Structure 1
Amino acid sequence: MNPEDIKAVFGMQPEAAVAYLKQKGVDVSWDWQDMLDDAHATAFTMAKTAGMDVANDIYRAVVNAAETGQTLEQFQKTLTPVLQSKGWWGRSQATNPDTGDIQTATLGTPHRLKTIYLTNMQSAYMAGRYTEMMDSLDTHPYWQYVAINDSRTRDSHRKMHGRVYAATDPVWNTMYPPLDFRCRCRVRPLSRTAGEGKVLPSPMLETQTVDIGTNEYTGETRYAQRTGLRIDGKFVAPSAGFNANQGKAMLSRMAAVAVQKAQAIHPDIARVALKTMMGNAKFKAALSAAELAWVLELLKG
């Protein structure tokens, strides 16, 4: 699915998606287990990179692809020679940033670039879509999960297809796509009229802690959480590493930064700024309970 396909399916322009990508920092990691949940929203993290130099090359290529509407083929054609020139290609020697050891690893491949492209584009567009849908809660208070439903659709994603919940239901904290690498699902907003009669009661959510493997170099066993619901007796939840609504995580991070800045300035100035911000439903909803309590106390003064 290329950016033009995504824009057509999601009915949105790419600006919000590009903003999502640009607000990320860049980090490097040796193991995919380090890239879990909110990390997808707050940092562009690459496993088994040769360092920040290569990670930045990949990050800039992803942002450029979103900005210019590059297809997967164009993305691969542009980035592949850059990575090959820096030795980040095929099976080669690379430095483990956690231990400093030189180890053999599979680095860049066409398959891996495809996964990077599709996962980041889907995450970016769905995060941007989330911020847009939050602006229309008054007119579209219900959200519906939509899966592609073809031979490549995962069974758990197929089970979510068509299910309608209130936009404010906690189920969307984790069951908001992407739910896995290369997930093609989306969520569409429904008007009050369209959603009535279809909306389901808030499900009982269940959190499972799963073993995601042992770090072969340190011997440490890694764990991740998966929070979901039961459908026809089957536990349906995001895969390990995707247990967060990335759009919500992005807004929460930005709201937290705003509160931190407000706490560092004179209360009278902060009061004026936060009074304006609290008029924005997205900002208010993005605050944690502690942040909201601090803001409300400040506004009393």
Structure 2
Amino acid sequence: MNPEDIKAVFGMQPEAAVEYLKQKGVDVSWDWQDMLDDAHATAFTVAKTAGMDVAEDIYKAVVHAAENGETLEEFTRQLTPVLQGKGWWGRQEVTNPDTGGIQTATLGTPHRLKTIYLTNMQSAYMAGRYAEMMDSVDTHPYWQYVAINDSRTRDSHRLLHGRVYRAGDPVWDTLYPPLDFRCRCRVRPLSRAAGEAKVLPSPMLETQTVDIGTNEYTGEERYAQRTGIRIGGKFVAPSAGFNANQGQAMLSRMASVAVQKAQAVHPDIARIALKTMMGNAKFKAALSAAELAWVLNLLKG
């Protein structure tokens, strides 16, 4: 699936998706378990890049692909020689920067670049989609989960297909796609007339702590949380590392930046700016409890 396919499926322009990618910071990691949930949603990282000076190259290539509508083939063709030139390619004996030990690791491969491309593109488009849908909750107060439903669709994602919940239902805090690497699901907004007869009661959320493996070098046991619902007795939840709504993370980050900037200027200036911002329900909802309390206190002055 290339950017044009994604744009057609998600029904949106790429600007919001590009903005989502540009807001991410670049972090480095050795094991994918180091970056889970909110950290995964707010930082760009690729496992096995720590100490190898390639995370920034991959990040720039992903942003460039989103900005210019590059296909997977174009993305791979341009990035591969860069990574090969820096030695981040194939299966090699490398030093684990966390332990200092030598281990055999698979670095860059065409299959891995495809996963990086698809996962980041779809996360970006779904985050942008979330922001757009939040702007239209007055006219489209219900959201419907939509899966592709072909031979590659995961069973758990297929179970979610067609389910409708109100836009503000806590179920979307975690069951907003992508729910896994290469997830192709999306969410579509429904008008009151289209969704009222289909909307389901808010389901009971269940959180499970799952073992995601032992670090073979440090012996550290690693765990992650998966929050989901029961459908026909089956537990349906995002895979480990995807237990966060990418769109919510993006809006929260934007709101936090706005509050930080307001705290750095004269209170009279901050008061004028935040009064306008608080008229936007999306901004207000994205604030943390502490940020909201600070803003409300400022506006009282």
| Offset, 1:48 | 0.3
Per-residue CA distance 1:62-82 (angstroms, 9 max, x = gap): 111111111111111111111
Per-residue CA distance 1:9-35 (angstroms, 9 max, x = gap): 111111110100011111110001012
- Structure 2 length as normaliser, TM-score? 0.97
Q: Give unpaired runs (5+ residues) of structure 2.
A: none
- In the alignment, is residue 243 of structure 1 matched against residue 243 of structure 2? yes
Structure 1 match to 2:218: 218
Structure 2 match to 1:188: 188
Q: Secondary structure at the match of 2:46?
A: strand
Q: Give unpaired runs (5+ residues) of structure 1.
A: none
| Offset, 1:53 | 2.5
Cα distance in structure 2, aligned partners of 1:80 and 1:39: 26
Q: Secondary structure at the match of 1:255?
A: helix
Structure 1 match to 2:198: 198
Q: Secondary structure at the match of 1:46?
A: coil
- Contact kept? 1:25, 1:44, Cα under 8 Å: yes
Structure 1 match to 2:30: 30
Give the aligned length: 301
Cα distance in structure 1, aligned partners of 2:50 and 2:73: 24
Structure 1 match to 2:150: 150
Report matched runs for 1:81-230 at 5 Å. Answer: 81-230=81-230
| Offset, 1:150 | 0.6
Cα distance in structure 2, aligned partners of 1:298 and 1:74: 50
Cα distance in structure 2, aligned partners of 1:32 and 1:168: 31
Question: Percent identity at matched positions?
Answer: 89
Per-residue CA distance 1:241-268 (angstroms, 9 max, x = gap): 0000011011111211222222233322
Give the direction of change, closer, same or farther, for the CA distance of 1:97–1:277 in structure 2 (3 Å limit): farther
| Offset, 1:49 | 1.3
Cα distance in structure 1, aligned partners of 2:231 and 2:36: 25
- Contact kept? 1:50, 1:88, Cα under 8 Å: no
Per-residue CA distance 1:62-117 (angstroms, 9 max, x = gap): 11111111111111111111111111100113332323444321100111011001
Report matched runs for 1:12-27 at 5 Å. Answer: 12-27=12-27
Structure 2 match to 1:74: 74
- Contact kept? 2:30, 2:50, Cα under 8 Å: no
Counterpart amino acid of residue 132 in structure 2: E
Per-residue CA distance 1:98-145 (angstroms, 9 max, x = gap): 234443211001110110011001100000100111111111110000
| CA root-mean-square deviation | 1.2
Counterpart amino acid of residue 163 in structure 2: R
Cα distance in structure 2, aligned partners of 1:179 and 1:75: 24
| Offset, 1:50 | 5.3
Cα distance in structure 1, aligned partners of 2:244 and 2:265: 32
Per-residue CA distance 1:132-178 (angstroms, 9 max, x = gap): 11111111110000000011100100000000000011100000000
Q: Secondary structure at the match of 1:29?
A: coil
Give the direction of change, closer, same or farther, for the CA distance of 1:125–1:62 in structure 2 (3 Å limit): same
Q: Please identify runs of 4+ aligned residues in structure 1 that moved more than 4 A.
A: none
Cα distance in structure 2, aligned partners of 1:240 and 1:184: 17
Counterpart amino acid of residue 209 in structure 2: T
| Offset, 1:52 | 6.1
Cα distance in structure 1, aligned partners of 2:121 and 2:86: 24
Cα distance in structure 2, aligned partners of 1:283 and 1:95: 44
Cα distance in structure 2, aligned partners of 1:57 and 1:262: 33
Cα distance in structure 1, aligned partners of 2:252 and 2:104: 38
- Contact kept? 1:29, 1:97, Cα under 8 Å: no
Cα distance in structure 1, aligned partners of 2:52 and 2:272: 40
| Offset, 1:295 | 1.1
Q: Secondary structure at the match of 1:204?
A: coil
